[in-house]
Amino acid sequence: MREHDVAALTAVELEAARRELAASLALARPGSPVRAPIHARMAAIEAELAGRADARPGLLSSPRVRSTDDEHAG
């Protein structure tokens, strides 16, 4: 199977790709051969995001996570 290089993508691009792949996976029929490459790409994205989070442990791993204090500030 071909390697999925996602290191050049930004965090925003990785999150968008993950959402799009999750939607595609939801639409794919069980047992469909298209599910394997979708899973492989999603695993590559998850590994890249995890690697970035490990490299910068003081930062939030996802831009979707916000505290309620951030929403009411300023």
Mean pLDDT of the chain: 81
Whole-number percent of the chain with pLDDT over 90: 58
- Kindly list the distances between the CA atom of residue 35 and the CA atoms of 3, 43, 69, 74, in Å, as whole numbers in the listed order: 16, 12, 40, 45
Does 28 score more than 70 pLDDT? Answer: yes
Contact (CB, 8 A) for 62 and 42: no
- Considering only CA atoms, which of 38, 52, 55, 49 is closest in space to residue 1? 38
Two tokens at 32? 């469909």
pLDDT higher than threshold 90 for residue 66: no
What pLDDT is stored for residue 5 in this prediction?
Answer: 82
Q: What is the pLDDT of residue 57?
A: 72
- Arithmetic mean of pLDDT, 34-59: 89
